[in-house]
Amino acid sequence: MAEQAILSTDSVQDEWGQICSQLKTEVGDTAFESWLKPLTPGSFNDGVMNICVPTRFMRNWVITHYSDRIHKIWEKKNPAIKSVNFVVQAIQEESHGLYAPSCRSLLKKISSSPAPQNIYQSGLNSLTANSNEMFNNNEALSVPLNPQYTFDNFVVGKTNEFAYAAARKVAESRNVSFNPLFLYSGVGLGKTHLMHAIAWHIKQQDPSRNIVYLSAEKFMYKFVRALRYKDTTAFKEQFRSVDVLMVDDVQFMGGKDTTQEEFFYTFNSLIEEGRQIIISADKSPSDLEGIEARLKSRLGCGLVADIHPTDFDLRIGILENKARQMGIELPTRVAEFLAQKITSNIRELEGALRRVIAHSQLLSDKEITVDMTQDVLKDMLRSYDKRTTIDEIQKKVAEHFNISVKEMQSSRRARTVARPRQIAMYLAKQLTSRSLPEIGRKFDRDHTTVMHAVRKVEELIMEDSSLAENVDALRRTLEA
Ligand code: ADP
Ligand code: MG
């Protein structure tokens, strides 16, 4: 019960009321009326407070401008609130059976429940369970699909045309064509979008086909739960009627041996029965880490399609497409500016565009110009410019100390190689958002070595001013 915070509906409403008055004084009446008043608190689960927002556009705006503040104020009032999440409460989607019932109706049900001191959490849990059955009709395994992620909304360019064609082929063919279809790419490049698009397409053509889409994490979670409740037979049963199984981000199964074993089993039996499987990951099957060899080879035995990082043309195409969808005229120069600057992935590109549009709309349709874009995205562009990669750090540090990158990654322990290696690890920790294990892998070491290197360099910087200067100079070149 320790982590299971309990909140009664009344106390949620109460706290929300107080938060609103505080926000009102902070942001002023006009902003409050436009953005904050329409919000309503919804379900509370696992430390996450869901807040309902009437439209997608508002949700984005509220997230960029108020979500941190709301979270801070609320957490201070009530430490059980670990984070806040904004949910679009859309009646239309509800009737398609894609999303849980609107928060308002949930709240109504809870507040009219007989026990006056009802436990918010458990009340919601049972409601959510019911609605799950309702909106997933026998697909309790699956998670809802995003209505925006369709083939129509997918912009095709050189970098993703192969993956797109493969996805379309799988979606359109009645008999299993490539099995499994394995999609891989870096983050934010459209894997999930393509998987949902396949699901939508199949559903539309033949609603009777049972499609299950879930993340590898969810698969693991379900499986671990089944183990805990000694209910693995029921777990397996759930997959028997599946016609199309999609598992997103299988790299998360790395190192989880029992789950892999189970997945392997499920996978094989579905393939044998001629069901379609679609998998995504951040790497090709053979490069996946911590995945058993036989599973890797099984994953790679159908069609493997990768999505490459975007190119300029695709970025322009995506910006034009999204702007059109939002009913906005995006000046060519602004599109070009964004496409030149935001090159990392499509998710960030979309985020940038949304910020610019929200800004112009808030200031009663202020014209979108390059200057204004630059101004609105100041922080983002700055951090963007600063972003370096571990490869780059290894290269620069190796050059600086006159060794090769190969030596840096080698097992040699001579001081002339070991010290630069430690410095590179230290800078990788400082200048990138990579985790210790991720950094370790780039150096062919484990995370404890990286941790040790970081501490060591921190100590050395205090003691040895010439080393400190060297590290500082390197940092400046990398950040430049
Ligand atoms: P991944 O699963 O590879 O991390 P997503 O599928 O979640 O990436 O894509 C990130 C965002 O970019 C989503 O909002 C998605 O709709 C959008 N997106 C990705 N590729 C395209 C594309 N080719 N055309 C339009 N939008 C795209
Ligand atoms: Mg994804």
CATH superfamily of the domain spanning 161-307: P-loop containing nucleotide triphosphate hydrolases (3.40.50.300)
Burial of 157: CB neighbours in 10 Å, binned 0-12, 13-18, 19+: middle
According to DSSP, the residues that pair with 461 across neighbouring strands are none
Do 226 and 261 form a contact (C-beta atoms < 8 A)? no
Q: What pLDDT is attached to residue 30?
A: 66
Give the whole-angstrom CA distance, residue 308 versus residue 41.
40
CA angle 220, 226, 231 (to 5 degrees): 150
Beta-carbon contacts of residue 69 (< 8 Å; ≥ 6 apart): 23, 26
Q: Which residue has the higher pLDDT, 374 or 58?
A: 374
Query: For residue 397, how many other CB atoms are within 10 A of its CB?
Result: 27
Q: What pLDDT is attached to residue 373?
A: 94
Radius of gyration of the chain (CA): 25
Q: What pLDDT is attached to residue 131?
A: 33
User: Atom of ligand 1 at shortest distance to CA of 346?
Assistant: 12
Sorting pLDDT into bands at 50, 70 and 90, what band is 87? confident
According to DSSP, the residues that pair with 53 across neighbouring strands are 88
Give the whole-angstrom CA distance, residue 416 versus residue 67.
49
Give the whole-angstrom CA distance, residue 320 versus residue 309.
18
- What are 295-354's pLDDT values in tens digits? 999 999 999 999 998 999 999 999 999 999 989 999 999 999 999 888 889 999 999 999
3-state secondary structure of 143: coil
Helix or strand run (H / E) with residue 468? helix 465-479
Give the whole-angstrom CA distance, residue 278 versus residue 431.
36
Helix or strand run (H / E) with residue 86? strand 83-88
| Structure tokens that stand for 216 in this block | 């590898």
My answer on whether omega of the bond before 207 falls inside 30° of 0, hence cis, is no
CB 149 less than 6 A from any atom of ligand 1: yes
Sorting pLDDT into bands at 50, 70 and 90, what band is 386? low
From 189, 324, 344, 349, the mutation candidate for ligand 1 (largest count of ligand atoms within 8 A of CB) is: 189
User: How is domain 2-129 classified at the architecture level of CATH?
Assistant: 2-Layer Sandwich (3.30)
Sorting pLDDT into bands at 50, 70 and 90, what band is 57? low
Sorting pLDDT into bands at 50, 70 and 90, what band is 5? low
Give the whole-angstrom CA distance, residue 432 versus residue 161.
31
CATH superfamily of the domain spanning 390-479: DnaA protein, C-terminal DNA-binding domain (1.10.1750.10)
Looking at the predicted structure, is the pLDDT value of residue 132 above 70?
Answer: no
From 193, 213, 283, 344, the mutation candidate for ligand 1 (largest count of ligand atoms within 8 A of CB) is: 193
Intervals of CATH 1.10.1750.10 along the chain = 390-479
| Structure tokens that stand for 130 in this block | 């019911």
For ligand 1, atom 1, the nearest C-alpha belongs to 188
User: Atom of ligand 1 at shortest distance to CA of 146?
Assistant: 16
For ligand 1, atom 26, the nearest C-alpha belongs to 154
CB 260 less than 6 A from any atom of ligand 1: no
Backbone angles phi, psi at 275, to 5 degrees: -90, 150
CB 346 less than 6 A from any atom of ligand 1: yes
Looking at the predicted structure, is the pLDDT value of residue 31 above 60?
Answer: yes
CA of 207 to the centre of ligand 2 (A): 24
DSSP type of residue 36:
I
CA of 350 to the centre of ligand 1 (A): 9
Sign of CA dihedral 215, 67, 111, 92: negative
Identify residue 253 by its one-letter amino acid code.
Answer: M
User: Atom of ligand 1 at shortest distance to CA of 194?
Assistant: 6
Give the whole-angstrom CA distance, residue 105 versus residue 20.
21
CB 318 less than 6 A from any atom of ligand 1: yes
Sorting pLDDT into bands at 50, 70 and 90, what band is 140? low
What one-character-per-residue DSSP string does 155-169 give? PP-TTTHHHHHHHHH
For ligand 1, atom 9, the nearest C-alpha belongs to 190
3-state secondary structure of 220: helix
CB 184 less than 6 A from any atom of ligand 1: no
The alpha carbon of 396 is separated from its chain's Cα centroid by a whole number of angstroms, namely 31
DSSP type of residue 251:
G
Helix or strand run (H / E) with residue 205? helix 191-205
Q: How many residues does the chain have?
A: 480
Do 100 and 128 form a contact (C-beta atoms < 8 A)? yes
What one-character-per-residue DSSP string does 268-316 give? HHHHHTT-EEEEEESS-GGG-TT--HHHHHHHTTSEEEE-PPP-HHHHH
Task: Average the pLDDT over each of 20-24, 113-117, 268-272, 311-315 and give the range with the smallest value.
Answer: 113-117
| Structure tokens that stand for 418 in this block | 């070991």
CA of 156 to the centre of ligand 1 (A): 11
Phi-psi region of 230 (alpha: psi -120 to 50; beta: other; left: phi over 0): left
What is the percent of the chain with per-residue pLDDT over 70, rounded to a whole number? 86
CB 160 less than 6 A from any atom of ligand 1: yes
Q: Which ligand is nearest to the CA of 143?
A: 2
DSSP type of residue 467:
H
Do 281 and 288 form a contact (C-beta atoms < 8 A)? yes
- What are 244-298's pLDDT values in tens digits? 999 999 999 988 888 898 899 889 989 999 999 999 999 999 999 899 999 999 9
- What are 196-241's pLDDT values in tens digits? 999 999 999 999 999 999 999 888 888 888 888 888 888 888 888 8
CB 151 less than 6 A from any atom of ligand 1: no
Give the whole-angstrom CA distance, residue 376 versus residue 151.
31
**Mean pLDDT score, 89-107:** 35
Intervals of CATH 1.10.8 along the chain = 325-384
3-state secondary structure of 182: strand
Mean residue pLDDT of the chain comes to 83
Highest mean pLDDT among 17-31, 51-65, 258-272, 310-324: 310-324
Give the whole-angstrom CA distance, residue 139 versus residue 149.
19
Beta-carbon contacts of residue 454 (< 8 Å; ≥ 6 apart): 425, 426, 429
- What are 429-443's pLDDT values in tens digits? 888 767 888 899 999
CB 191 less than 6 A from any atom of ligand 1: yes
Q: Which ligand is nearest to the CA of 150?
A: 1
Looking at the predicted structure, is the pLDDT value of residue 27 above 80?
Answer: no
C-alpha count within 13 angstroms, C-beta hemisphere, residue 343: 10
What is the percent of the chain with per-residue pLDDT over 90, rounded to a whole number? 48
Intervals of CATH 3.40.50.300 along the chain = 161-307
Intervals of CATH 3.30.300.180 along the chain = 2-129
| Structure tokens that stand for 161 in this block | 């045309």
CATH of segment(s) 325-384: 1.10.8
For ligand 1, atom 23, the nearest C-alpha belongs to 155
CA of 233 to the centre of ligand 2 (A): 29
CB 347 less than 6 A from any atom of ligand 1: yes
